[in-house]
Structure 1
Amino acid sequence: MNGQSLDQREKALWSPAPAPFEGPAVALEPCAEDGPLPDGARTFSLDSADWEMIDGGTVAERTDPAIPWEGALKARIPNTVHTILYENGVIPDPLFAKNDKLARENSYKTWWFRREFDFDEDFADPRLCFDGVCYNAVFWLNGHFLGGHIGMFGGPEYPVGGLLRKHNVLIVKVEDAPADPRPYSAYADHDEGWKYGVVVNCVYGWHYACIPSRGIWAPVCIRETPRLVAERPFFVTSDYRSGRLTVCIKLTGAGRGRVRIRIRPHNFAGEGRQFAAEFSAQVDAAMLRYTFTVDNARLWWPNGYGEQPLYEAAVAVEPEDDLPQVFHEVIGIREIAMQPLPQGPREDLYNWTLTVNGRPLFVKGTNWCTTDALLRFPEERYDRFLSLAKAQNLQFLRAWGGGMPESDYFYRRCDELGLMVAQEWPTCWDSQKLQPIEALTETALIHTVRLRNHPSLVQWAGGNESAQADGPAMDALARIAFELDGTRPFHRTSPYGGSLHSYSTFWEMEEMDAALNLRAPFIGEFGMASCPNRESVYRYIPEEERTLWDPEAKTAFNYHTPRFNEFRWPEEYNDMDHLLRRAVEFGEIRSLDDFIFGTQMAQSTAVRHTLEAARADWPQATGICYYKLTDVYPACSWSTVDYYGVPKTSYYVLQQAYAPLHAMLVIRSIDAAQSYPVVLLDDNGDVAAKPCEVVVRFFDGALRLVRQEAYTARSSGAVTPVGEIRLPAQEAALAPLLIHIQLRVDGAVRDDTFYWQNYREKPGCLRTLPAARLEARPLDGGRVEVVNTGFVPAAGVLVECPEHDTSFTCSDGMFWLDAGESRTLAVSHTEGLRLSAWNVPPALY
């Protein structure tokens, strides 16, 4: 060991050029605003429903204006081929039953797109710009061949000043590529072609959906271009304590002029400031750097650690005798840094301790996966999933390499909600060694500049689960991260350098305890798959399957599993075998409802104890990301919120495990132990120096209280050991053994959770507890009071709203309610509620 971290060693290996902010900067002082900022270079959008789409045909046929496109479909762009076909009624819903096969067949055709438009603008040096065409495309404007392009995530751009007319015809040909289909059966397929392209690879059938993307899926426009081109400015927090910022503006071309910078509050009240400077760019590529101070700066913090104040930053680059460019950014003032573990830096470990504004934080995270196989991303869909992420007490989303560089709206909402993001580039399993390096580096170049101003973005990574994570492409991705940003760490892949991924309890079918004992400085992926709720399942299976239960049948239900229930691994195990392995420990599976209960309980159990134990291991453990929050396709999967936006039981269990103020037991086995460490977690010091009482109660299968222990403690930081409970052997052998733990501060309950142990000794015992009774009483202000009117505790109380399940929210779920006890919950709907518990059958109120 030489006292260096892996971060330092790798940066020295890559030897990047200086970051944009590394160089002399001109210090600016506030000045009076001198009139409005100019409009800047203009844009003419070509997004509309006036496109046409057709398959097949020769170049001569499709580019000859005299030959009509017989049978062409109306197409709304941006969109994928499959969505256009579905909207025109050509194919049925690709998400339903086994219809993905009908959609998939259309991935292996050549598709043509045409847009006729009038253009009478006097743009200076107009350029035709595509933000995303998947995947291999060729372009014509008014009969003139423009060129070809591969890559899904940006480009190409073409100068079209000499080609534009009053009336114009734009034609795009999208080829059948990349493609290497390898079907499992007549319906199930996976396509290895993604390894030879730069695409959203999770729609190629290695899990859930095999509908390889095709089409013009992102915006198209004509942009006016000045002679002196300014790159999107980069704002850097130079000193969070004083509010000192540096703005970096890369210029291409020579010229003189001025820069005006205006900073004003975006989501809070306050005054704005202007800063201005003259510039002279004497070479073709120059970097302007300006530094200035925001008075009384308000700092951006992750969810749970403070507020998320944001600032509007407008930058006008105004050359003499040329078009001005005006950029509008929303930024946050904050500093991200990575520090070593307490033992100091190690050359084989990344620095894993995340600090925000100088404060070390344990990272409570999840994996974020692309939310639709057809690439439909309306804002309300992002709002649903990201608001649920915040409510689950999440702070960190790993936008993993199976997906895409996430959208502007995604990052804008993460900025507002305090959700930090690690953005991986679209590579998996060392695919960077096969993918076209030009398309991969173009993706990183475009999106690094696009995303680097977001305060929520805290890390770059080369991709997902690459064993070597090396080669020329990985080297290029690393240098791009340092040379275009330099304020965030770059990790080759995950897992790497001290992080861990594990699916031993699912794919390898090991005992549940294997998941409960995972330990690492940072756990990047682990989890357990489960079935969505019944109402969600009914959305994607035929009606005749609703009462059918046959895990071996070739049904749509069994098909909507990670590998279509067709791929057998290891040995002869299919997806239903993997799902049932842990589910049967919660009772006999004779129906869909049994399967839902068993798989969701298995998921809750396999994940929550590992999350809690990692938090209790701080600072040796620095963070954890369960797999996963979201789905790309409706299926039995690892998500805690299903494709339609409906939380599973596990969502609420993990919400409790991630609570900022939480009393917990360290549990390393699903079988009861004779001793349990009791720990108080206090992320923010909310109860520092306050007397706290932790009450732990044990119940048997008849819901009789068999033991109660109370501990007094004072929070001494993020993690405070409170004590250790020791059980006699006969009590530890009770099946089931239910454990309720409550934190009281100044006599008020501040946290409440419960555990289940020894359940597999009597499979089904959690659903045969003595019956309780629940009532729901609507209150004003979007609240409902849930009351246990029975004589025994209600275990696992859930409040749902079947008619509005895709939009319903409830502040708590899967909780314990003593006999005679009530709990007031914040809910989005107060009518049509369904109450249930393990020992209370579902009933509507």
Structure 2
Amino acid sequence: WIQPIRDRNTGIWDKVTIEKTGAVTIENPHIVTKVSGLRKPDGAQAPAFIEVEAELSNNSKTTKTGFLKYQIENHTVYVPVTLNANEKKTIKTDRVEIQNPKLWWPNTYGPQNLYTSYIGFVENKSDSKDGLEAIETGIRQVDNHWNNYTRSMEVTVNGQPVFIRGGNWIISDQMLRFSQERYDAEVRFHRDMNLNLIRVWGGALTERPEFYEACDKYGLLVMQDFWGSGDCNGRWIDPMKLEDQWTRRQYPDDHSLFIESAADMIRMIRNYPSLAIWCGGNEITLASDLHHALKDSLMPLLDPNRWFIDYSNSDSMSYNSIGGNGDGPYGIQTLPYFWSYRTWPFNSEIGSVGVGDMTSLKRFLPKENQVIPIETPGVEAVQDSVWTYHKYIGYGKSVEAYGQPKDLEDFANKAQLVNYDQYRTLIEGFIGHQWDWYTGIIIWKTQNPWTALRGQMYDYYLDPNACLYGLKKGGAVFHGMY
């Protein structure tokens, strides 16, 4: 369903910056917000608390004295620091109490209030912010507990139960051409669909800061996978792969580099209020030494307050009493299916069709391939090889319910009616059974990093199709369902 990124291990592909600093540098600040009790998005709030720590390094050959300074709103904290030549220390501030805080909430639950806080090393106390690092801070507390009724994990934010309505995110652009504007537009689409979580799928990568900033802005919680996926890492026998299943179970080749990179990722994104869940990998537990390094060493040390899931359809997230892989299905369904069939209680991947309209199709299908796809029951491939290349997933007889299509444009228009019904009914079926059958759903998938013909609410060119509007209607906080 996606073509591989070519030359993905070759050279520098992302931004590189050079900074000029003083003798003492601050590294890896960590800001943790504590919001106790059951809160509401409006009205007066009980106090919240902020815990801050950072690593300070003296890069000079002489002793340096000064202060670790942290500032948020009208609160300023100074911690005296003495660093010997070339010494590095982790410094913690006193707990900061925020009276009547403006809390951060996920989409549809409340506003996404953000504070700008500042942290840095200073030699003297002053009101200046020069040399301080600015960090956007959302005051919220995300917790999880096991729901014995649904037999799945339940998420709370600021004490309020949050029914997870999420989308699986692959990567913004297959060619790694990232921009703040594209991130903002894509995450905003997820806000508009009344979703409240984006899962960054484990077969891709850690996104850039602009992605998490957009999630903070629009109220999308983030479930961040580490880099592993069952289809690549040997969950199944695959004769098409060069190496055997058990060799692939030990991927990647350099475990030390993986662990070092994981530690860097945790430090890089742990301050974003939208980050809610860590996941060891997609549909598979990583090689034993990697898994235990993440779960038993890195998480307790670097980010002990967030939920860590072994893998995306683990029984610790969603108990599998049905059998099978623990997620799906991925194709066209009859509309009653989404209401009547009880699937996994926190389904990390479920989706359907997603062909765009004619405007979208014309952008990447050659004129000679702008034909109605002719399907063969039981297989994904269709008669036209270009449609097969772009991973078209079949509609069965659902389009013909609106009349036999005359040409591709007619087919695409009628497919939009199917798209709308599929995703409106999918999300309504889960919401209609929330807290009874389910605690969450994550749709496979909501976007495409290339010109694919499945699993998308909008295409590679950011052109929405009717899937988006079906989700928007079906996920509306107040609306009639049938």
User: TM tier, shorter chain?
Assistant: 0.7 to 0.9
The one-letter code sitting in structure 2 at the alignment partner of 1:221 is T
Task: Tell me the residue number matched to 1:78.
Answer: none
1:583 Cα shift? 4.3
Report matched runs for 1:52-201 at 5 Å: none
Match of 1:646 among 463, 477, 480: 463
1:595 Cα shift? 3.6
1:439 Cα shift? 2.7
CA gap of 1:510–1:393, structure 2 versus 1, over 3 A, is closer
CA separation in 1, counterparts of 2:464 and 2:478? Answer: 22
The question of whether the paired residues in 2 share the 8 Å contact of 1:505 and 1:512 is answered with: no
CA separation in 2, counterparts of 1:532 and 1:439? Answer: 40
Match of 2:116 among 300, 312, 317: 312
Report matched runs for 1:232-631 at 5 Å: 232-239=28-35, 241-252=46-57, 256-264=65-73, 272-280=74-82, 284-318=88-122, 326-343=132-149, 352-429=153-230, 431=233, 433-435=250-252, 436-466=254-284, 468-469=285-286, 471-478=288-295, 479-497=297-315, 498-499=317-318, 501-504=326-329, 506=331, 516=339, 517-546=341-370, 552-561=382-391, 578-580=394-396, 582-584=398-400, 587-589=403-405, 591-597=407-413, 599-620=415-436, 621-631=438-448
Identical amino acids, percent of aligned pairs = 26
1:236 Cα shift? 0.9
Question: What are the superposed Cα offsets for residues 693-751 of structure 1, whole Å, 9 maximum, x if unpaired?
Answer: xxxxxxxxxxxxxxxxxxxxxxxxxxxxxxxxxxxxxxxxxxxxxxxxxxxxxxxxxxx
Structure 1 stretches lacking a partner, 5+ long: 1-205, 265-271, 563-574, 666-845
The one-letter code sitting in structure 1 at the alignment partner of 2:351 is G
CA gap of 1:594–1:493, structure 2 versus 1, over 3 A, is farther
1:339 Cα shift? 2.0
CA separation in 2, counterparts of 1:627 and 1:408? Answer: 23
1:653 Cα shift? 1.1
- 1:207 is the counterpart of 2:24: no
The question of whether the paired residues in 2 share the 8 Å contact of 1:243 and 1:295 is answered with: yes
CA separation in 2, counterparts of 1:319 and 1:636? Answer: 58
- Greater relative CO (CA pairs within 8 A, separation 6+): 2
CA separation in 1, counterparts of 2:369 and 2:34? Answer: 60
CA separation in 1, counterparts of 2:470 and 2:275? Answer: 27
The one-letter code sitting in structure 1 at the alignment partner of 2:389 is Y
The question of whether the paired residues in 2 share the 8 Å contact of 1:422 and 1:459 is answered with: yes
Structure 2 stretches lacking a partner, 5+ long: 37-45, 125-129, 234-248, 321-325, 376-381
Instruction: Say which one has the larger Rg.
Output: 1
The one-letter code sitting in structure 2 at the alignment partner of 1:247 is V
CA gap of 1:405–1:292, structure 2 versus 1, over 3 A, is same
CA gap of 1:630–1:458, structure 2 versus 1, over 3 A, is same
Question: What are the superposed Cα offsets for residues 791-819 of structure 1, whole Å, 9 maximum, x if unpaired?
Answer: xxxxxxxxxxxxxxxxxxxxxxxxxxxxx
Question: What are the superposed Cα offsets for residues 279-317 of structure 1, whole Å, 9 maximum, x if unpaired?
Answer: 245775434243112233111111111111111111121
1:607 Cα shift? 3.7
TM-score normalised according to structure 1 size: 0.47
1:455 Cα shift? 0.8
CA separation in 2, counterparts of 1:244 and 1:503? Answer: 40
The question of whether the paired residues in 1 share the 8 Å contact of 2:333 and 2:422 is answered with: no
CA separation in 1, counterparts of 2:395 and 2:391? Answer: 9
The question of whether the paired residues in 2 share the 8 Å contact of 1:232 and 1:450 is answered with: yes
The one-letter code sitting in structure 1 at the alignment partner of 2:412 is I
CA gap of 1:210–1:287, structure 2 versus 1, over 3 A, is closer
CA separation in 1, counterparts of 2:35 and 2:384? Answer: 61
Task: Tell me the residue number matched to 1:216.
Answer: 12
- 1:663 is the counterpart of 2:463: no
CA gap of 1:226–1:462, structure 2 versus 1, over 3 A, is farther
1:601 Cα shift? 4.2
The one-letter code sitting in structure 2 at the alignment partner of 1:273 is H
CA gap of 1:513–1:402, structure 2 versus 1, over 3 A, is farther
The one-letter code sitting in structure 1 at the alignment partner of 2:427 is L
Report matched runs for 1:666-815 at 5 Å: none
TM-score normalised according to structure 2 size: 0.80
Partner secondary structure for residue 104 of structure 2: coil
Question: What are the superposed Cα offsets for residues 632-668 of structure 1, whole Å, 9 maximum, x if unpaired?
Answer: 1012111111111111112111111111112223xxx
Partner secondary structure for residue 363 of structure 2: helix
Partner secondary structure for residue 302 of structure 1: coil
The question of whether the paired residues in 2 share the 8 Å contact of 1:368 and 1:629 is answered with: yes
The question of whether the paired residues in 1 share the 8 Å contact of 2:107 and 2:196 is answered with: yes
1:390 Cα shift? 1.0
Partner secondary structure for residue 465 of structure 1: coil
CA separation in 1, counterparts of 2:306 and 2:192? Answer: 26
